[in-house]
A and B are shown apart, each in its own frame.
Chain A
Amino acid sequence: MIGFTLNGQPVTTSAAPTARLTEVLRDHLGAMGTKVGCDAGDCGACTILLNGAQVCACMVPAARVSGAMVETIESDAADLDRLRAAFLRHGAAQCGICTPGMLMAGVDLLRRVPEPDEREVQDALGGVLCRCTGYRKIIAAICDTAAPETSSAEGIGASVTRLDGQAKVRGDSFGADYWPDGALTVVALRAPHAHARFSFGDLAGFARRPGVAGIFTAADIPGRNAFGVIPAFADQPAIAESPARFRGECVALVAFEAGTEPDLTDFPIRWHPLEALTTPAEAEAPGAPLIHPDRAANQLIEGRVTKGDAATALAGSAHVVTGTMQTGYVEHAYIEPEAGAAWMEGDTLIIRACTQAPVMDRDDCALVLGLPPERVRIIPSAVGGGFGSKLDVSLQPLIGLVTLKTGRPCRMIYSRRDSMTSTTKRHPAEMQGSIGCDAQGRLTGLVFDGRFNTGAYASWGPTVANRVPVHVTGPYLTPHVTARARAIHTHGPVSGAFRGFGVPQAALWQETLFDQLAEKARLDRLEFRILNALRDGDATATGQAMQAVGIHDCLTALRPHWKRALSETVPGRGVGVASCWYGCGNTSLPNPSTIRIGLSHQGRMMLHQGATDIGQGSNTVIAQIAAQALGLPLALFTLIGPDTALTPDAGKTSASRQTFVSGRAAKAAAEALRARLLRLANAGEGADMALDGTTLTITEGSTRRTLDLAALPRDAHGYALTAEETYDPPTSALDANGQGTPYAVYGYGAQMVELEVDPALGTVRLLKITAAHDVGRAINPQLATGQIEGGIAQGIGLALMEEYLPGRTENLHDYLIPTIGDVPPIESLLIEVPDPEGPFGAKGLGEHVLIPTAPAILNAIRHATGVRLTQVPVLPHRLLEALR
């Protein structure tokens, strides 16, 4: 037995002496607050204090803590409590998966340096990765742990502390953090080759090994072995039959008894590697084998937008620029690898896992498992970052299969390598084309051709191919457009959804060419963009007449910063700007959300909110919208769900749609509930409501009426009153030329980057980023700026360091994401041009914020050095080569 002191209490464990301390804390002692992101010291999620010093618990042998003092996020130390409060006050926790590690590293620092400066915070937290926040609010929180000024403001426009924040600063319950007693441990066997036939040997023999509870292959799948986020394109097997089509594809599952160490050594499988198509060029070459027999030339889909006659417009233009841009696979690199558990309740299969799309998961799992959807219940865990990849199912059908087949509970936790090799990526893009303007600098036309590597299966490839041509003009009035984007299959990782669905790639092409075009037109680069910015009433490339267009306001808000930055420019420094726009919600497809509010007999507003909060803040924003529309305090609300058994479908958390679409549904439900309450009291719309216990008082002028909620009958939902409303954005289908109204609401933004290039090393140091984003109405400004800062951090990664290479960067030390020292100070300018379609005028924001960062960085590098780069990431060796 190993004995030590855990958060002041003596504990003992029978764990093996070389077991990782993370396993001791989590599996043996049930302290789930310490998170595991990589098991390799690369992410710092498991940071704890060992005898007062921060260490990664994943690399501490159990025996070494014998007699030691261990402090974890479960500690109630006063200084940790103060830091927790500071994190909440500053909005320093988004998804919450890195938060325990950040807090422990922060406490380690504050005990050594009570009043640290920014540099000291960075040095102390340099070993903890965060993928959501962009780190700036974390730095601010650690530098400001003094007693808080509490604000009681809570209406629309107030920076309400996130309602789910307390759990996050104490170690929230993510996919890996709950499983029923006795749950089997499920492990996947994955393809080691990009393309390979395989055959099994003596599976029955392996199944007889001690501790092996079962082996499952494609032959065991009772339903349709093909899932996919877009039903018409569903093509991805949950467990592949031979051949495997990408490295990392699951080909078999092994379930181990609890307490058995999973060991797949000598698993009876023979591999026969086949020639792999690794690039779209190879896949499109005449005679190339087809990855899916029904998709000619390995093309999944082509998206097109044609307006006017772009070729003629360019031929008649005073200035034309032509160029290419190339991007690579980008990994989401959320700090929470996929994890979850499954069990049966009666004849219902329960799957609790991290997800962005519970109802889609339910329907996909039901199809794969051959069950009616009502026999599958999805309970989303807290989600430790998603960014698009947790829209597709990962382990849900796998653990569902094991539980369905064995009748026993099971759990599965992806290793970092499982997560990186088997889940989706941002589409690599090869883009080319031309943009023209007249002698005054007004845009005349744009021709664009993009080829996107969509990998082995469809996933969100169709969405990317359709979104890119719609958005490739940027938020600029472009009279003539010919744009085409094709998604091509290869034997690469599956490309899916990643913050922006292809638009960030297209913006890199368009915005970098804009700088050249502005130069030809002899216009200041910012003024060129202001001149061409879309205005209300202008038509987009799809012919949609726009309303509530905020790009002009965003760009002009940057003007004083731009002039200041240009005036401060010295050799080696550069300033760049780029814009974004982004349509919120599905492209020309139904995209409804339904929200239910139940008024309980105890006087609580039960907000059945099926939108998964993956850190962006929908739990808080949707509640704020509901409270404002209902006219009662936020404190009366209780959040229910998401849970497919308890919450109506609020759609998926993607495409920056939750504030807009689910927010509209919440507003409608709250208004409906308010109307019913006022009707019960015979009061008019302007009446005030107040709730004290179960007594609702409605005041209109000098008339006061009271309602005793406890006395109301139970309705079908068991509440005193229930309101449920659905909102579906008004869009229209695109015709053969891509003309129509693909989105009801768009958001806009522009970012300015100041940086310094080291010409001898080809390295880039970011000095400041100024970000102006039109959010329509900032429901919660702190959550909005949190999205901006986090999106910028991912944009920095896209521009300067991130490139996923199968077989080579399948971990978090070879695949680089920005650390706390890589994100410069960010000044956010929230612009509010209210959209009549948005709730209280609000627009989406989450994806927009990533789009301008990378092109603004490339434009600033060009300003500093004169070099136009045509490939990201701009690794030091690429920049130095371009400079020479």
Chain B
Amino acid sequence: MALMLNRRTFLKAGFTTATIGATGLPLEALPAEAKGWNWERSVCRFCGTGCGIRVASKEGRVVAVKGDLQNPVNRGLLCAKGYACAQILYGEDRLTKPLLRKKDGKFDKQGDFEEVSWKEAFDVMKAQWSKAHKALGPTGVAVMGSGQYTIMEGYAAVKLVKAGWRSNNLDPNARHCMASAVAAFMQTFGIDEPSGCYDDIELTDTVVTWGANMAEMHPMLWARIIDERLRRESYRIFNLTTYANATSEGADVEIVFKPNTDLAIWNYLAREVVKRGAVDKDYVARHCVFAAGPTDIGFGLREDSVKAYAPEKDTQARQKTVVLTREEAIARGLDPAVKHEKAQASSGSPQRHWVISFEEFQKGLEPYTLDFVAALAKGDPDESMEAFKAKLVQLADEYANPARKQVSFWTMGFNQHTRGTWVNEQAYMLHLLTGKQARPGAGAFSLTGQPSACGTAREVGTFAHRLPADMSVDDPAHRKHSEEIWKLPANTLNPKIGSHIVQMMRDLEDGKVKWLWVQVTNPFQSSANANHWIEAARKLDNFIVVSDVYPTLSSKVADLILPSAMIYEKWGGYGNAERRTQLWRQVVLPPGEARSDVWQMMEFSKRFTLAEVWGEQSVPGLEAPGYEKGKLPSVLPAAEALGYKPGSTLYEVLFATPSAKAFAWPDPVAFGKPNSTVAHAGITWFPEKALFEEYRQFGLGHGHDLAPFDVYFKRDVSGLRWPVVDGKETRWRFNDEYDPYAKKGSGIDFYGTAMKKVPAGDLNGPKPGDPVALPGKAKIFFRPWQEPPESPDATYDLWLCTGRVLEHWHSGSMTRRVPQLHAAVPEALLFLHAKDAEKRGLKAGDLAWIESRRGKIQARVTLGGRNKMPRGMAYVPWFDEGVFINKVTLDATCPISKETDFKKCAVRISKVV
């Protein structure tokens, strides 16, 4: 209540203070309008925090940005990247013309890039699409999308690929970012995305960061945490990490653990909670069940690639068989003196799970004593065992205390993990056991990395298995519902899940995908084990299109580069990590012939007739009720019954529909702002609004309700957290005081419906019998700790972890073109412990080789700075294409989520001589 009052008081004050410079300017500064700057409300281009921004433009150019004082996410502040959102538009090498590899005036994969018209670009792109489609069917073409797609772009991509081309080969870079979070949400709650919101930061007693260096990766959320810590002596911050980082500097307790042992720490904490009688029995009895799943699920590696390098083969062999280590045997309650050889992935789908009893759950936890876990997990060889144990106990004391609330935050340390789904589920395990989930100030809270990983990749459903609003392509009812909204003939949609983004790279190498369109991402830099994929891109017979704003590493391996419009050069919308949807107006025009991604997809769709894509199609491996094996039926006769003609284009059927054209442009919501998609397409309707309004129909009444397009542009709206019901946003989902979807009087209602009918069994497997229905319940999973696919050994003797830095966004294509950000962090350094460096004859500033089974690169050594490594571990950020660390990393994934583990592999480091 107090918070509400504060907010109202603040909002009243908001407009009088909005013109005060929130940054370095004194209060007496003149209002900005006096300089002829025009301020427009918008969103930051970068991370998943979703800071509100005000964009100043003058004479058609963006001149500055500042934090939006009205926006509750960041209240007027931005980080060093956010303040650069004006400069990112103006790098000298902005792409302004399509570029095609040519020789002798025509496309040639071995040619150099030449400027071409959009017409020629699309002609070649379409001819190559048809060649791949004719040879391989809908699975031979693919689109790599993004958690940086606007909501409308993602939705347009889903329609074009899934409805138009009848392919499910659409997957975003967000697969690398939070697919594990998604899988855990679905398995635990039956519905995606966090129950809490950022208000939890001010309402909780303790923040625990697990594999989340928030000080660098979510700086404006970290600012709120530090603010709260400085004003409340009783507030506590725990940082669990594999090396000392910037977040450690603000933490009360830092726990450095050995890579992959986070699962063991969670089980120790759960065991303590149970042992101490700290289980919230009422909460668990009313709202939860216990669950388990198969344990020998592999590591998402390839087993049979003929292209594997010889040194890769020993790691890849672990995909088939694992011999348990002594500790693994103990952790499973097995005799450590006996050899246990476990066939991997032999027990069916890794997603399967079943209900178990509390007693079975407790049995699973039993081996995770303090002594066992501390010996396993201590990550800094120079820390004493006593000191490490004391910290684990302190953390257990904190979580087990019923009088204190905790928020557990995590990001890539959990998600990019070969047991990513499991470790996400363990966070819910502890918060559910203690009754500290879906309550103000208490909850396990998955943060996202990208600005619209939630809003687009997840909610719109740009994954290979998804349709909008949490629906799946392999569910007949979901396909039917989508076909109705999209006015498609029955059985147009393909029931076979497409290739995830890691698989797409493997498919490219195996010649199973021969046409690829990359949008709003730089996958050839960001994918692990990159030597394979750049080789496949450049040396095999395939066609790769990259749409981007600057030339990136991916565009260097492309055959066609298309120039795209940037954030403030188009209309768009993002959804952040607290379910807040924020839309923005276009402010300035894109340069040269750069075009919005929506325009690119709409224009390209004009080149497809229904006759080409909606006839019978071969889809190898397709097996679904109502479908002939390996085939998608022709839906052309049914399409004619719906009023379409074989010559109708996908543009007419998917985009320029009668209902879309009803959204006229110009629109009063624009307040005179331009729309270049409209201008370039020469139309009189408003594609971004039409796409958003159609997309919105999927979520209404299904717990994903968004407000109408225009509402997000109201002066007093700074985005809204869905579900938005009767004009009101929802701060805590599943909690009947706040969430209209939670049954009144239930207290807590985990109303998600996915995976809510499962068999019953014990830790070893399901028992025969009818599945149990679990309405309103969340699942508390027991998940064991296991060894990772690759650990340091005699040859490759160090752990390698990769990640981001505060000053650069992802692969650096925008921020490295901002002079002061580049000058601040000009290259990716190799962070090492001084003793590890000394052992290899290295000192700060020296050049070192970093080599794994997969590749080698050079980097310069640093021994201090923001990351302080324990002995035995190295860290290299991945933003720098000149220090191409993903040539070294391992493409193992969580077998459930298919998300790559970028946080651990084994390397050797030597001095460059």
Q: Do A and B come from one complex?
A: no
